[in-house]
Amino acid sequence: MSDLIVRTEGYVGWITLNRPDALNALTWEMTLEIETALRKWREDPTVKLVIIDGAGERAFCSGGDITQMYASGRRGDLDYGRRFWRDEYRLNRKIFIYPKPIVTFLHGFTMGGGVGVGCHASHRIVCENSQIAMPECSIGLVPDVGGSLMLALAPGRVGEFLGVTGDRMDAADAIFAGFADSYIPQENWDALKTELAESGDVDVITPHITPTPDSRLAGWQAEIDANFSGDTLGDIYRAMPADPGPAVAHAQKLMARNAPFAMTCAVEIIHRVRNGLRLENALDQEFRYTYRCVEQGDFIEGIRAAIIDRDRNPQWQHASWQDVKTLDVTRMLMPLGKDALKWED
């Protein structure tokens, strides 16, 4: 069974992520195949728009398939992960700048690498079971695949909150934070996909859109802004009151399990991207971290604890945020020179 189902139907180029037993986790080969399809359809006048969806009931895409990165990293192979991320980030940018509409249907889990495929599209549809997150700090990584741009653009300091906690957004939260556009009940998706294929016109989406419930994040924004507006992760921790409200209490619980170094770097990346709001800048900043992260160590340990041994007890290089030195962050996020991302197609 192919990990991707790639076909044309009517006016639509259609890609279905087809690893439901693995929550449609994205492999390196899938990344290359999606890019090939998009390049072909870009020049095909019969294809008016692209649909990307996921097979099964549980996930659009739960993230990148990181088990191979663990195996290669344990062998001391730094090139596999670097190649994967380089090619994945090129795909993220291709989706972001694609000249034809791309409609993504983000049911169930859309996390990490799934955000890179699903949330840079021009029309992002969520439903009643959507759960969208950037949980990378829990495995010693930083929000990547261009996610730092969405975090930098989120209202107030919601981006810092989401980036360092990895908190899961429902449909209303995702629309509020800028990770999705339209709420449409999943029972209407098949009919909408058929209309898109028959018409090649994204305007058929509008009659299906349903108002969303209130966003939890919107209700928390004042508290988030008051506590997550500092220049560094240390500033954020020091701003937290002894008797926190619901947003900070929730954040503290999630942050306690994440890598202090990754969270510190994530805050710095979001701030750098906010000062230069371009996807290329976001991907460049992220790649500085991911290029070095296998050698740096927390990423391999994070995968071990979460995926391989599943003991949920990672031994991070820094015991707490107070142990992270500014110089360590500076070195991790230094320009890569000749190894930096390049954007030739």
| pLDDT digit string, tens, across residues 285-307 | 999 999 999 988 799 999 999 98
What is the model's pLDDT at position 31? 96
- Residue reference for tokens 């709001």: 277
What is the model's pLDDT at position 213? 85
Does residue 345 lie within any of the structural domains? no
| pLDDT digit string, tens, across residues 76-94 | 888 899 999 999 999 999 9
Question: Is 0.75 topped by the overall pTM?
Answer: yes
Pick the range with the lowest mean pLDDT from 45-54, 70-79, 122-131, 205-214: 70-79
Strand order in the sheet with 109-111: 59-61, 109-111, 131-133
- Residue reference for tokens 């399990």: 257
What is the model's pLDDT at position 69? 85
Does residue 344 lie within any of the structural domains? no
Query: Residue 164 — pLDDT band, cuts 50, 70, 90?
Result: very high
Does residue 275 lie within any of the structural domains? yes
- The residue range of the domain holding 222 is 4-339
Does residue 171 lie within any of the structural domains? yes
Does residue 109 lie within any of the structural domains? yes
- Whether 70 and 90 have beta carbons less than 8 Å apart is answered as no
Query: Residue 345 — pLDDT band, cuts 50, 70, 90?
Result: low
Does residue 270 lie within any of the structural domains? yes
- Residue reference for tokens 């969270």: 263
Please enumerate in sequence order all residues whose Cβ is within 8 A of that of 94, keeping only pairs 6 or more positions apart, or say none.
35, 38, 39, 345
CATH number of the domain enclosing 229: 3.90.226.10
- Residue reference for tokens 């290359």: 32
How many folded domains does the chain comprise? Answer: 1
